[in-house]
Amino acid sequence: MENQNISFEQALELLEQKKYAGLRSLLSDAEPADIAEFFEMIDRNQYAVVFRILPKEPAAEVFVELDSDLQQILIDSFSDTELSEVLQELYMDDTVDLIEEMPANVVKRILANYKGEERKTLNELLKYPDDSAGSIMTTEFVRFKQNMTVEDAFQYIRQVAIDKETIYTCYVTDVNSHLIGSVTVLTLLLSAKDALIGDIMEDNAICVTTQDDKEFVASQISKYDALALPVVDAEHRLVGIVTVDDAMDVLQDEAEEDFAKMNAMLPTEKPYLKTAPFELWKSRIPWLLLLMVSATFTGMIISSFEEALATQVLLTAFIPMLMDTGGNSGGQASVTIIRALSLGEVEFADVLRIIWKEARVALMCGCTLGLLCFGKLFVIDKWLMGKDITPIVALVVCLTLCVTVLCAKIIGCTLPLLAKRVGFDPAVMASPFITTIVDAVSLIVYFQLAKYFLHL
Amino acid sequence: MENQNISFEQALELLEQKKYAGLRSLLSDAEPADIAEFFEMIDRNQYAVVFRILPKEPAAEVFVELDSDLQQILIDSFSDTELSEVLQELYMDDTVDLIEEMPANVVKRILANYKGEERKTLNELLKYPDDSAGSIMTTEFVRFKQNMTVEDAFQYIRQVAIDKETIYTCYVTDVNSHLIGSVTVLTLLLSAKDALIGDIMEDNAICVTTQDDKEFVASQISKYDALALPVVDAEHRLVGIVTVDDAMDVLQDEAEEDFAKMNAMLPTEKPYLKTAPFELWKSRIPWLLLLMVSATFTGMIISSFEEALATQVLLTAFIPMLMDTGGNSGGQASVTIIRALSLGEVEFADVLRIIWKEARVALMCGCTLGLLCFGKLFVIDKWLMGKDITPIVALVVCLTLCVTVLCAKIIGCTLPLLAKRVGFDPAVMASPFITTIVDAVSLIVYFQLAKYFLHL
């Protein structure tokens, strides 16, 4: 499903034939996001050439959309004048993102372009913690005073619009820069020309603080269907806004991070096909190692039961089924709770309610599985396949199944809550980690029940 | 982190004391999303009372934010007049959502409120497939003609704004309703009053079709940082728009669905604490059963090797470690590919590149794990714990580890691609499913290597 209003084939052909005027006119109709995609298709020694034929303003928008590797190659090819032209067109939040991605020498060149007030703002923004609202907000918003009229407001918007990230929601501050309200362009359009901003503004504007977690900010924007939310400092002074497009990016990045963490990987930022095998190895090996080492405990449990197993080798055949079912049950519970935590649906205080709910679900799941397994053991394994399964062995297997599912679900729902409580990311408490613990638990239960019922 | 500008405690107190005037004024300052949260806290026999004290317009916005259970209770308590008042305030996309969630008798009452042109539009919208752009678009957008001036346009916006879901991007159509361009309110504000829409509009507007997948539409909105995208039919006639807030909801819902599917659960829509244990059971038991049954194949592999295992019970102790490491390695690869597919970074045609990349990652991971495991077997298991591990047993275990990781990663990356190819959802090819297959593979490899090297 291709949607861009630019033909990449045609653009590549024009580039190959060095028909730069044609390429320029083709690209001038394209969306910045599509031109950025075009950059991914061309050789690195062509980046500078193509970038130079873009008109100045879209060029900066394209620059923001590029991968940081590509941005660095371009900056290295820029003269100081070219660099300063691009930087002038960037919004502050994009500049901050750029600086955070670049190596020290590039950062130095970038910072040399900011003086006085601008440099101060930039330094302030760079100080906010990585995950905070402060780190993703932009300082380019429209600010009104209460005593402006609607006509003044429109005139002001016309003057400053070009430098602002959004004009559709504007903010009203008092003399000390405290946020006192907001007003949308829609309200302005529907109000009389001489109406006062102070009279038509929405007071009690929903806002976030610079220290709020960026995921929280994004979820607030989604909750209130807002196009932007104002960000205030500790003294309730308006210092920036976060726009809906950045909120979307935050939510998508966080989801990708969670998918990685929940599956025993360290998050990587690059698209898959552009990630080198060595980088994939780096993101995957730490958890594999850790989980391999912890899985040896399970081996120790089996070892300690070696002699008994030698007399009843039949029991070994059920180990994978018991371990997998336990792991899957625990994984279901843990992922459910991890997501509920991240959506703010549950918190640590709900721990007893959650355990009680999971216990009931576990009993239902455990009994269903246990009964069906019992039936299967007799119908398929004993009658059809002629295996030597006594009722008492079947009982041990099915009872283990019930108890394992119960333990798995309770461990699965408790660990993410505990992780959150002590300040860890609950996402690492997903299936792979839970599986390792539940494996050990299920084997202990299995062997204890076997010992008891089979008198081993 | 509480952000709403309403005190729930105070509202609950006012409700308890039946101070409805006070409650009304408190709620009239609140955001619809927060009032919807307040509904979750009160008894079901109070829903109608509280709803009736809300002013009419925010009442409809609150209604849209409520859970479908709650919406149904409210509708059942509404008189026909009350129902029609609420419905009048709803946007078409919200009406469609509502109708899709309600039982037949409620749908009949709702549809009775739509006549003529409106009923026709509604019927059209209801016909679009569940996952399509048509099913989430709204028909309330601002439409201009090319020969309107900017002044005409503003006048028109002022007339119709109140009924439109967004006015910030307006669309230009020709006499046959074909989409020919778009114009933002920002452009209108920056243009001369007598400029013609046809001259200032952006032609080549990015658009989607009614049949496009809604996740694709959402990702386009995110890619182009758009506030809305126009939706056209097969004849390129403009029939609706999808707004950024709905796109955000789509992306979040799809992520939640993927989290569930990737962890062997059927997606549920309700918040965790409001989902009954029986519903959780229903969403979890199908996969648990399926995976339990498939895990018995692994048991059969062990059974077929029972006699040899009886002579070398030591080998049993490594089964959990080999199975878990295989499962984790496969899970990493499958989730990476599932996400890359869903973000559009890879497609089936890349299958060879992907397998080649995963094979290299697997070799690196496998060798690292194998070597460390070999060392551990000798240092910890043999010397420290005095186990009877011969170099040849250690070799079998470590070689199995390497081969298992290789198989796991290749199976893990191939299955989601195949699923996508044949039209299944790749998300179900995540860890739990891969684990079951990889378990069997790792055991076969293990026992074959053991047979060969240990002459069992």
From CA A186, how far away is CA B120, in angstroms rounded?
30
* A105-145 tens-digit pLDDT: 899 999 999 988 888 888 888 889 888 999 899 989 999 99
Q: Whole-prediction pTM value?
A: 0.83
> Is pLDDT of A1 > 60?
no
% residues pLDDT > 90 (chain B): 45
Contact B365 A439 (CB under 8 A): no
* Secondary structure letter of residue A314 according to DSSP: G
From CA B106, how far away is CA B112, in angstroms rounded?
10
What is the helix (H) or strand (E) element at residue B446, kind and residue range? helix B431-454
Cβ neighbour number for residue A391 with a 10 Å cutoff: 11
* B167-207 tens-digit pLDDT: 999 999 999 999 999 999 999 999 999 999 999 998 878 89
> Is pLDDT of A367 > 80?
yes
From CA B266, how far away is CA B283, in angstroms rounded?
5
Contact A320 B319 (CB under 8 A): yes
Contact A157 B189 (CB under 8 A): yes
From CA A234, how far away is CA A255, in angstroms rounded?
29
**ipTM of the complex, rounded to two decimals:** 0.82
* B359-401 tens-digit pLDDT: 999 999 999 999 999 988 888 877 877 777 888 989 999 999 9
Q: What count of Cα atoms within 13 Å lies in the side-chain half-sphere of residue A198?
A: 6
Q: Sorting pLDDT into bands at 50, 70 and 90, what band is B239?
A: very high
Mutate to test the interface with A, among B131, B275, B431 (most CBs of A within 10 A): B431
> Is pLDDT of B272 > 90?
no
Q: What pLDDT shows up at residue A249?
A: 92
Q: What count of Cα atoms within 13 Å lies in the side-chain half-sphere of residue A308?
A: 17
* Residue A35, token pair as written in the block: 């031109």
Nearest CA among A334, A358, A285, A342 for reference residue A433: A334
Q: What pLDDT shows up at residue B156?
A: 94
- All residues of chain A having their beta carbon less than 8 Å from the beta carbon of residue B4 are 206
Q: What pLDDT shows up at residue B8?
A: 86
* A141-185 tens-digit pLDDT: 999 999 999 999 999 999 998 888 899 999 999 999 999 999 999
Q: Sorting pLDDT into bands at 50, 70 and 90, what band is B1?
A: very low
Phi and psi dihedrals of B209, rounded to 5? -105, 160
**Nearest-by-CA chain A residue for B287:** A328
* B430-447 tens-digit pLDDT: 878 888 899 999 999 999
Compute the average pLDDT of residues A212-219.
92
From CA B446, how far away is CA A173, in angstroms rounded?
71
- All residues of chain B having their beta carbon less than 8 Å from the beta carbon of residue A208 are 3
* A344-356 tens-digit pLDDT: 888 999 999 999 9
Using CB atoms, which residue from A213, A227, A323 is nearest to B320? A323
Contact indicator for A201, A179 with CB cutoff of 8 Å:
no
Residue type, A102: M
* β-pair type (A169-173, A179-184): antiparallel
> Is pLDDT of A235 > 80?
yes
Give strand pairing partners of B132: B213
> Is pLDDT of A2 > 50?
no
* B274-311 tens-digit pLDDT: 888 998 899 999 888 888 888 888 888 888 888 877 77
CA distances from B191 to A199, B17, B195, B196 (A): 28, 56, 7, 9
Q: Sorting pLDDT into bands at 50, 70 and 90, what band is B353?
A: very high
Phi and psi dihedrals of B301, rounded to 5? -65, -45
* B33-53 tens-digit pLDDT: 889 989 988 988 889 889 988
Q: Sorting pLDDT into bands at 50, 70 and 90, what band is B313?
A: confident
* A420-440 tens-digit pLDDT: 999 888 888 887 888 889 999
Q: What count of Cα atoms within 13 Å lies in the side-chain half-sphere of residue A449?
A: 20
Query: What strands lie across the sheet with B208-209, from one edge to the other?
Result: B208-209, B228-232, B238-243
- All residues of chain B having their beta carbon less than 8 Å from the beta carbon of residue A4 are 206
Q: What pLDDT shows up at residue B3?
A: 54
All domains in chain A, ordered by first residue: 8-127 (1.25.60.10), 143-262 (3.10.580.10), 272-454 (1.10.357.20)
State the DSSP string of A176-236.
T-BEEEEEEHHHHHHS-TT-BHHHHSBSS---EETTSBHHHHHHHHHHTT-SEEEEE-TT-
Looking at every residue in chain B, the average pLDDT score rounds to: 89
- All residues of chain A having their beta carbon less than 8 Å from the beta carbon of residue B318 are 299
Compute the average pLDDT of residues B254-266.
88
* Residue B371, token pair as written in the block: 């070597």
Range B270-273, long-range pairs (CB < 8 A, 24+ positions)? B270/B67, B271/A340, B271/A343, B271/A345, B272/A336, B272/A337, B272/A340, B272/A345, B272/A346, B272/A354, B273/A340, B273/A345, B273/A346, B273/A350, B273/A353, B273/A354, B273/A357
CA B450 to chain A, closest CA, distance in angstroms equals: 17
What is the helix (H) or strand (E) element at residue A159, kind and residue range? helix A150-160
> Is pLDDT of A3 > 70?
no
3-state helix, strand, coil in chain A (%, to 5): 70, 5, 25
Compute the average pLDDT of residues A27-47.
87
Interchain CB contacts (distance < 8 Å): A and B: 340
CA distances from B375 to B315, B326, B381, B406 (A): 17, 19, 9, 20
* Residue B156, token pair as written in the block: 């028109």
